[in-house]
Structure 1
């Protein structure tokens, strides 16, 4: 008998026994004849018959006919594309949903990549270490600090020859001015080695190594000097003198860094006891550059020896000992532990949260895919049945469905990339997610792999379910799977989608209401018709005040050191009596006598002070200070004395009613209002109602006459509070996330309603012929989906309350959560869900019943 070599054709994979076995058991000669399927080595119990395509030349071996034609995958993808084209609505829903979820995941992946690339642009990151301090208290509690005692750097440089260089990074607080503008940049003191240890490029000029020199970032230089050349310009720092700008430094384009700053000052000008004080471990950060070849273990042993020596120098009633650790620069981010006084390195918790939000959004889209694929299972039952009858293996049927899901995921990736480019310029995205991250083809390849994996995972569940169904079983049942008490898997997924979406909406609405409350709530002082004007640094405002008083519509011109509604800049300790342990931490504002009537502050006792009272050291206090100092009632406090932190004794001229001078985040604290004209930085101009526009124009004209080269920066007090407390960029991005979640859920619901109405076309036709009204048919088709929305609302409301309260606990003064919060959210849920359900069911209900019956 002539034996042929194995051939390949359109048949699937067969495992045929050897020729001798076939001949002995069947008497068949071989090629072209039919053998029972039982002789094929398969796990299926069905006995089919297949033609023999070839026999093996070897005894006791298996001849494997593999379905491995070069065009196998092409056939899979052709069928997949035809299926997607046939069901356009379902395909669009799946592609849009997967794209939305993947867009959020791509943002998280970019941020995760950037978090592992932090500080990789410095010259020697493998040899650069930040010194951490573990502070052990008298009760043996250990707290880890990212800071360290500043004398540690000098000790390492002098006593250990394996140290190549050390540098400090010390925060400088306060305001800077150039004679025209007063700003509060994020500023640090650094020494000369900083520019050698770290690789921030100097764009122009030189590093700040000489005393009283500074370097600015390009953004801060533009804020101070605009388009003018900043080199050689002078900036004044209160309490430290004048600093000459010697260079422009770039801290953004090289890459991400855990150090954030706007200005660096030469530490040669720094006069601080912390430089020699071992007890102060909170003042600044210490970095060490080791020589090549020095191991971390050697360095750690030296730090342990130093800690033992320096513990003897600590004479603190709260601290028992120090322990120093070396943290390599590449290990700073992502942060493995929470450090006190940490910098700006991302934490694993932040990255996990971002990825969790992205995966949750993607999961909602996967639910859509599972829902719609299972819903269309009946329409594809004939396809699955035929493939299995002709011998298709289960893994081949699964591969077909999973190929479709991979194609959907890749199309979704393309749409997700477009969406990523659209939201990339958003302030929140740049500031917190992808700002400063460099990504190229490696990241693109990661995106493709991620989308393929997402597609495979999305298609796995429906592929396993559909490939396992027998044709008769599929034709008998519309749902097949049950989860809880008659609620199908598909309906359960819809409930989860809308519950998550409603939870996100409630949380965002609570946050938005709180921000609105902070920007528009009652602070206890008048802010309407009050114009705030910054005072130019180093210049007397007397002429400006006189000019403003002459304008029509101006009723009061008050001066203050800072604007109420913001965090106070001046906090100090005060005492009731000398030599007693009765200290009280107070907030101080410096005002003139016109501020009380201008902002409508209420005096409970005493009287408002006058400029003459400045020489008499008279102050105003609030009710919290009255309680804190134990001065009795408001009337009893008048004339009593307190001692401020600068050993200045003052007497109480009046007591004002409590008001929110520091915003709604912090609880009310003791407040002292003093008169010191040299501290004034803002004018608060009270304008009569009805003359706002004309008065502001007149004030701006007076400003230009006095300061022709300075822009007028007047702003209404209400606008200032709104801008300070309304985080529009953050809310817009959170709104985008919520809208995406709702859109995915609604599109999934639309697909389910569409399929439900299509499968009940004959029922609708019969009902209309029997006289059913349109509203009855609509309710019959939509009632089940309305119940799903009710179940989703019942799940999301308690979870939303818990999430909302978790947010509001961060604010001392906050809104309540009740029907005013849940009502609009639930109403919007049923409005969107109802429109999604109602429009589709109404179209089916008003259709011609003749066409409906004919379609069956």
Structure 2
């Protein structure tokens, strides 16, 4: 019997090819989004599978209680904790610490900023990151590189035994290279240093200070047979014993607890100083988006199947007269929906392969996850469940037709007494799609605004060149000789990014009046090159540096208006000549600059200090005359090749830098895909609704045409009810979409507004797509021959 159901299902699907294709594509779109979410959920449980003995390995968390009695969970701990656990508790097999940070490393005159972890020797055995060659980094000033970092630093040559340089840590010898790191890992780094390499006074002080709980991570592996309860009981005792004599500034204290590596991902809580593990909230959001998309597709299946109900009514009547009971008819219709859903699964997989290369999909959803037999079983089970869900309502309705009614005549046959439910589904579909589109367009406009806005400094015809250890003055002298080059300046960071060195600046050396400010190192040409405006005072003076590379130039700084407000030193003119302390160095304010936006638009303008520190220069800014860009660029590349033949030229126009930094095209493309799917599914649902209504009113159309109605009048008659649904959807979606867009934009100190250009454009697209869908179907109905529809009663 089941075989007959399947055969009949395929026959019906083949007979109604258009409806079958529409249903398959609609369900495939929804299933594809759900598959993406299922893959990411599966990947979330794969985190840490490569760690040896995860069942008895734990990460220690710190629960910090503030003065307001609010508790915040940190993934980090004080660094002395690991030594105490290993020294005083016999059930601890091994313990290791991990410190994450970013730093600049110099290799063969190349300056590269990389993420690194400083670790204890036990790191390699406790967490199980395997080496492809060489030895672990256990001695002072040693490091192990990832394969990608090794190639970036040393090309294809063997990196073991070679040296990388760090301005504070000195020379670091490479002792090994990791195997390719697991993609699904809660720790991500470019290289690993031995903990003993961090030998600066500040770093040594951190390793004994119980007050600093946000520095590093502590991992512990227990001995076999150890009771977890005894370990968990010991942690609060350790915290109480080592903090009883400590005084905190804004905390009452803290305690420790253990987090098993088997439950690290998905995480049940958001941890301060967290790592890269997945969270249940993110997974639930992804699955929610997938289910909503699938639900829209299910609505379509219901609408399209019921639209075909008139053509299936006689079939139901004949089957019932022949002795079929209702459950058999329901089984037949459910089998059709399941077959359709399984076909949709195949199409969904093809769509998945099509979008898999998208960077966003690779980075967040698919990367590192293998589709094994279990995953395919889940996919098939999910598609069958989706088919049963989609087919239940049509099967219930169609199997309920009465034979006497459907065999006598189909005239007046109604699937529902009213179609309010189906109209509501159409309104819901288009409302959801329109809300998503308004939010997406708001995001896209904000990203474009950040990428192309006027930041208040010059970005036109300015070429940024990373120095990569090329002497700045030598390069500047060469560049100034090139025809078309108007001015050359230097800076430590590029404006328009995420800021420079965010550090405390004081008015007095020992005072408690420090204010945090962004500190950039620039030269005396920078202000003119960037078209910055001096409100008071003068530019950095032009003087030669001394043998230390600082000179008197390093004793003068420029600040912005926001810094004047932060230090409460009056107006800009009163600020000039006042002293400030940058760390242990006293400087004098030479001038005050007009405020401009030098960081991301997430933040309001912050205090800014520009100082002359030649050792920190990392970029050259070359201002080129209009019309001379091509010739000047060719000359610059030739000079670069002569001065630095080992590094490729990676100069970038300032406008291109701002656009790439803020446009986030990959994310917008992926969200556009989801929004496009939602609108496509909604239009398919509208098509089903229009098809159903025109078929039930076909005799009415025939009569009206016989009575002299014109085609345009009939089109308007059939379309108006659907246009009203679109307008209702628009009325619902506009305020909700506005709120959704503002929920995103409110995160930015400077953002676009949501006005007619956003709302009007989305409504126009809604009416355009919906009107096209309605118009095509009603136009065909209006052109039908009245003789065909009125031939029989």
Evaluate the alpha carbon distance shift between residue 398 and residue 453 of structure 1 in structure 2; reply closer, same or farther with a 3 A threshold.
same
Aligned with residue 35 of structure 2, among 98, 103, 106: 106
- Distance in 1, matches of 2:181 and 2:361, equals 15
SS at match of 1:654: strand
The count of residues paired between Structure 1 and Structure 2 equals 779
Give the gaps of 5 or more residues in structure 1: 1-71
Q: Which residue of 2 aligns with 1:410?
A: 342
Contact 1:592 1:610 in 2 (8 A): no
- Distance in 1, matches of 2:528 and 2:707, equals 78
Q: Do structure 1's residue 340 and structure 2's residue 277 form an aligned pair?
A: no
Q: Which residue of 2 aligns with 1:516?
A: 448
- Distance in 2, matches of 1:317 and 1:650, equals 29
1:476 Cα deviation after fit: 6.4
1:120 Cα deviation after fit: 1.3
1:181 Cα deviation after fit: 2.6
Q: Do structure 1's residue 481 and structure 2's residue 409 form an aligned pair?
A: no
Q: Deviations over 1:49-96 (max 9, x none)?
A: xxxxxxxxxxxxxxxxxxxxxxx1111112211221222111111111
Aligned with residue 265 of structure 1, among 180, 183, 193: 193
Evaluate the alpha carbon distance shift between residue 640 and residue 832 of structure 1 in structure 2; reply closer, same or farther with a 3 A threshold.
same
Q: Do structure 1's residue 638 and structure 2's residue 576 form an aligned pair?
A: yes
Aligned with residue 286 of structure 1, among 206, 218, 236: 218
Q: Do structure 1's residue 559 and structure 2's residue 490 form an aligned pair?
A: yes
Contact 1:252 1:436 in 2 (8 A): no
- Distance in 1, matches of 2:781 and 2:173, equals 77
Q: Which residue of 2 aligns with 1:321?
A: 253
**Greater RCO (CA < 8 Å, at least 6 residues apart):** 2
Contact 1:626 1:637 in 2 (8 A): yes
1:256 Cα deviation after fit: 1.6
Q: Which residue of 2 aligns with 1:589?
A: 520
Aligned with residue 708 of structure 1, among 633, 639, 645: 645
Q: Which residue of 2 aligns with 1:740?
A: 677
Compare CA radii of gyration and give the structure with the larger one.
1
SS at match of 1:278: coil
1:510 Cα deviation after fit: 0.7
SS at match of 2:59: strand
Give the gaps of 5 or more residues in structure 2: 545-550
Evaluate the alpha carbon distance shift between residue 790 and residue 855 of structure 1 in structure 2; reply closer, same or farther with a 3 A threshold.
farther
Matches within 5 A, 1:65-464: 72-250=1-179, 252-253=181-182, 256-271=184-199, 272=203, 273-464=205-396
The farther-off stretch of 232-241 and 397-406 is 232-241
Q: Which residue of 1 aligns with 2:547?
A: none
- Distance in 2, matches of 1:468 and 1:748, equals 23
Q: Deviations over 1:449-483 (max 9, x none)?
A: 1111111111112222232343467756555536x
Q: When the two structures are superposed, what TM-score results if normalisation uses the length of structure 1?
A: 0.88
- Distance in 1, matches of 2:227 and 2:320, equals 65
Q: Deviations over 1:415-454 (max 9, x none)?
A: 1111111111211111111211233011001111111111
SS at match of 1:264: strand
Q: When the two structures are superposed, what TM-score results if normalisation uses the length of structure 2?
A: 0.95
Q: Which residue of 2 aligns with 1:786?
A: 723
- Distance in 1, matches of 2:169 and 2:699, equals 86
Q: Which residue of 1 aligns with 2:566?
A: 628
Evaluate the alpha carbon distance shift between residue 224 and residue 829 of structure 1 in structure 2; reply closer, same or farther with a 3 A threshold.
farther
Contact 1:571 1:585 in 2 (8 A): yes
Q: Deviations over 1:86-144 (max 9, x none)?
A: 22111111111111111111111111111112101211111110001112234433221
- Distance in 1, matches of 2:792 and 2:542, equals 92
Contact 2:309 2:415 in 1 (8 A): no
Contact 1:133 1:325 in 2 (8 A): yes
Evaluate the alpha carbon distance shift between residue 315 and residue 181 of structure 1 in structure 2; reply closer, same or farther with a 3 A threshold.
same
Contact 2:145 2:176 in 1 (8 A): yes
Q: Which residue of 2 aligns with 1:544?
A: 475
Evaluate the alpha carbon distance shift between residue 855 and residue 739 of structure 1 in structure 2; reply closer, same or farther with a 3 A threshold.
farther
CA RMSD of aligned residues (A): 1.9
- Distance in 2, matches of 1:111 and 1:390, equals 50
- Distance in 2, matches of 1:472 and 1:232, equals 91
- Distance in 1, matches of 2:661 and 2:530, equals 19
SS at match of 2:500: coil
- Distance in 1, matches of 2:612 and 2:626, equals 29
Q: Deviations over 1:355-400 (max 9, x none)?
A: 0000000000000011112222222222223333343322222111
